[in-house]
Structure 1
Amino acid sequence: MTPFKLSDQLIEEIELLIESKNDTALQNMFGEFHYADVAEIIHELNLEEATYIIKLLESDKTSDVLAELDEDVREQILENMSAKEIAEELGELDTDDAADIIAELSRERAQEVIAQIEDEEHAKDIVELLRYDENSAGGLMAKELVKVNENWNVLKCVKEMRIQAEHVTRVHSIYVVDDDEKLKGRLSLKDLLTTSTKTQISEVYIPKVDYVKVTDKAEEVAKLMQKYDLEAVPVVDELGRLAGRITIDDIVDVIKEEADKDYQLAAGITQEVEADDSIIELTRARLPWLVLGLIGGLGSVFILEGFEEIMVNPSYRGLFFYTPLIAAMAGNVGVQSSAIIVQGLANDVVKGSLLNRLVKEVSLTLINGSVLACLIVIFGFLMDNPINFSLTIAISMMTVIVVAALIGTFIPIILHKKGIDPAIATGPFITTSNDIFGIFLFFYIAKLILGF
């Protein structure tokens, strides 16, 4: 299949067809597109055109398109649709996607839409999912799955599976439950096909099955599925009853959202924003960390004022020219260390003794610091600087690098233990703190060695 490629020519053609209300041509054209490609096209149309396309095409396609759209675009389109039209779209979606869209509506609007859903069981499942936190396993799961009772024989099992499979887009696993709906295990399709039709399911099912609870955090679900390469994982309620399943596509979305959030935190943005958000929203997200940077910069000013005697001594005045270098090295090393730790915490690979990590980090920074210090001494020799001057800068920089690495390593770990997102420690927080410590240590060590 040739990959879809959006072009200005295609958009212009679609806009002309909409303007002339050539519905047949539009239906034929969009009939060849994947729903993800249709969503990409919708993003390039204005609101009126996008709504026209959504209402024109069949719900079995546009429902997936709506689920694929950015929240802001989807919200605008839904405002132009009646409760009945929205209900028809949701009736074609899996319960998890339908619940996500319902959750974006106002309470009154959501009630109107739910009341218009013809399939009462589908509506009931959606309402049940809405009671869970969106960042929990319950908020991620879908109710559509295939389950069999351990007391059935293979023949009855196959008959029931055929009925259930009509409502499931993709069958990843067959789950086994008891009479109380408690999860007992999973059923191998191979065992099902190669076993006598009179055999009890309790004799052939696999009791070992990975599962999560409805209250588990989305990040924990992602780690489990990543660790064991699961395409789907069952979800049980507080009593161990099978409540739903989470599929890999939902987890990919969780991982992407978490990565976007961490990237913005690392850049000093305190809440999730996008490039097309309002000026107020963007300001609210960026300003707090900029204020922190300003305070840190003012702190550096006071530190420099405390060593102003250097400025009146011609022999040591040159130290001020190395201040940006020291601050930059402190910031760079701190961000490198914190970035590695934050990544390790996210992937759950930061384990073991803190003392061992301390020894490892100090050893690493001493090697890096020694190489950089040698380069500083060589630079000082080429610039005809006094040897004690060059050694002072080299020793100060080594000390600053070690301290910055330790701050960059342990601040994320401490934040993680306190339940705070450690990604904060890869942004202005770590840079500002290392700048202040770096400048202070630089001049304090220089004062001790040179004796000014």
Structure 2
Amino acid sequence: MTPFKLTEELLVEIHQLISDKKNSDLRLMMKEFHYADIAEIADELDVEEATYLIKLLDSEKTSDILAEMHEDMREAVLNNLTVKEIAGELEELDTDDAADIVNELPKEIIQEVISEIEDKEHAKDIVDLLRYDEDTAGGLMAKELVKVNENWNVLTCVKEMRAQAENVTRVHSIYVVDDEDKLKGRLSLKDLLTTSTKTHIKNVYIPKVDHVEVNEKAEEVAKIMSKYDLEAIPVVDEIGRLVGRITIDDIVDVIKEEADKDYQMAAGISQDVEADDSIWELTRARLPWLILGLFGGLGAAAIMGGFEEMISKHAILFFFTPLIAAMAGNVGVQSSAIIVQGLANDDLKGSISNRLIKEMLLALLNGLILAVLLLVFTWVWKGTFNTAVAISLSLVVVIVVAGLIGTFIPLFLHRRNIDPAIATGPFITTSNDIFGILIYFWIAKLILGI
């Protein structure tokens, strides 16, 4: 399959077809594209053109297109649709995608849209999903699944499965429940096909099945599905009743969103923003950490001011200040990034003290190697051995301290249920800059005797 590539020529052609209202040609062209590709096209059109395209195509396809579109464009297009048209789109979607779109609608029309959905069972399932937080298993799950009762025989089971499968896009698993809808296990398709039609399901189902509760955090669900290589996982309520399932496509979205958020936090962006957001939104997201960096720089300047006399006598110390600050920041970010990654993947084992000892030894080894190189360079360059020793020894201590701070802070934040990704950006860089410069001049003062 050749990957779709949106070209300027294709966009120009689509603009022209919409402008000339050549509906047949436009439908024929769109027929060749996957709904995700059409969503990409729609995101590049203006709102009126995107709305025209959505209204032109069948709801069976446009519902999936809407689900894939950028949320800002989707919101604008939905504003151009009638309540009945929106309801028609929701009817074609799985309940989880439908609930996500309903959540984006203005509150004053949600009830109207729900009441226009002809399939009342579908509408009821959407309403049921709206009560869950979007960052929980309940907020991720879809109601569509295939379940069978443990007391049915194989023949009844097959008949019921045929009826249920009509509403399920993809059957990943067959879940077994009791008379109270409590999850009991899963059913192997092979066992179903090779067992007598009179055999009861309770005699052939597999009792062990991984599942999550509705209030489980989305990140935890992602970890479980990743660890056990699951394509889908059933969701139960507080008393163990089967209420839905989460599929791998939803978890991929969670992982991507979490990675985007962590990347932005590591870069010093405090809110979830995108390049197309307004200048004011981008400023609000970036400014807090920039202010922190400003105060960190002022603190470093104040520390250097306290060693003004020493700097005036050994001006070479001033030239190496940026190097010390940069090494402190780099080592801290490296250490914190490894810890945050380990925490995110849930593969960080052992106690904090063991982790700190390991990081200290690693930082010490790196620091010694770098210090030797710096000692030789400084001695050859300036020919003052004591000064070279002071700078090199400072570098070793600074690297060790930066490594310990970069390791401890994310572990500490994690223990306090604070996202440790916050520690990989300007927070670590700024704190290590201050500590690094303080240690640098303090050691230099001890060695040089000033």
Per-residue deviation, 1:150: 0.2
- Counterpart CA distance in 2 for 1:2 and 1:422 is 40
Counterpart of 1:358 in structure 2 is: 356
Matched, 1:185 2:185: yes
- Counterpart CA distance in 2 for 1:169 and 1:392 is 69
Aligned AA for 2:322? P
- Counterpart CA distance in 2 for 1:114 and 1:409 is 50
- Counterpart CA distance in 2 for 1:420 and 1:106 is 32
Per-residue deviation, 1:350: 1.4
Matched, 1:391 2:409: no
Counterpart of 1:279 in structure 2 is: 279
Counterpart of 1:119 in structure 2 is: 119
SS class of match (2:92): coil
1:20-419 residue pairs with structure 2 within 5 A? 20-313=20-313, 316-419=314-417
Aligned 8 A contact 2:136 2:214 in 1: yes
Per-residue deviation, 1:110: 1.1
Per-residue deviation, 1:385: 2.5
Aligned AA for 2:153? N
- Counterpart CA distance in 2 for 1:3 and 1:89 is 27
Structure 1, residues 93-121: CA drift from partner, whole Å, max 9, x if none? Answer: 00000000000112111111111100000
Aligned 8 A contact 2:352 2:411 in 1: no
Aligned 8 A contact 2:310 2:445 in 1: no
- Counterpart CA distance in 1 for 2:261 and 2:109 is 29
Per-residue deviation, 1:70: 0.9
Aligned AA for 1:89? E
- Counterpart CA distance in 2 for 1:448 and 1:81 is 74
Structure 1, residues 98-153: CA drift from partner, whole Å, max 9, x if none? Answer: 00000011211111111110000000000000000000000000000000000000
**Identity of matched residues, %:** 72
SS class of match (1:215): coil
Residues matched between the structures, number: 450
Structure 1, residues 281-308: CA drift from partner, whole Å, max 9, x if none? Answer: 1111011001000110110111011111
- Counterpart CA distance in 2 for 1:292 and 1:385 is 39
- Counterpart CA distance in 2 for 1:3 and 1:288 is 40
Moved more, 230-239 or 380-389: 380-389
Per-residue deviation, 1:318: 1.3
SS class of match (1:43): helix
Aligned 8 A contact 2:140 2:218 in 1: yes
TM-score by length of 1: 0.99
Aligned AA for 1:409? T
Per-residue deviation, 1:177: 0.1
Structure 1, residues 227-258: CA drift from partner, whole Å, max 9, x if none? Answer: 00000000000110000000000000000000
Structure 1, residues 369-412: CA drift from partner, whole Å, max 9, x if none? Answer: 01001001110232142111111111100000000000000100
Moved more, 43-52 or 170-179: 43-52
Structure 1, residues 310-333: CA drift from partner, whole Å, max 9, x if none? Answer: 1332xx221111100000000000
Per-residue deviation, 1:2: 3.0
Per-residue deviation, 1:16: 1.2
Aligned AA for 1:302? A
Structure 1, residues 176-227: CA drift from partner, whole Å, max 9, x if none? Answer: 0000000000000000000000000000000000000000000000000000
- Counterpart CA distance in 1 for 2:326 and 2:5 is 43
Aligned AA for 2:222? A
Moved more, 44-53 or 171-180: 44-53
SS class of match (1:114): helix
TM-score by length of 2: 0.99
Q: Cα 1:384–1:318, aligned 2, differ >3 Å: closer, same or farther?
A: closer
- Counterpart CA distance in 2 for 1:156 and 1:52 is 47
Provide the aligned C-alpha RMSD in A.
Answer: 0.8
- Counterpart CA distance in 2 for 1:198 and 1:159 is 13
- Counterpart CA distance in 1 for 2:32 and 2:193 is 36
Misfit runs of 4+, over 4 Å: none
Aligned AA for 1:167? N
Aligned AA for 1:394? S
SS class of match (1:383): helix
- Counterpart CA distance in 2 for 1:295 and 1:253 is 37
Aligned AA for 2:155? L
- Counterpart CA distance in 1 for 2:296 and 2:36 is 46
Unmatched runs of 5 consecutive residues or more in structure 2: none
Aligned AA for 1:124? K
- Counterpart CA distance in 1 for 2:394 and 2:11 is 61
Aligned AA for 2:211? Y
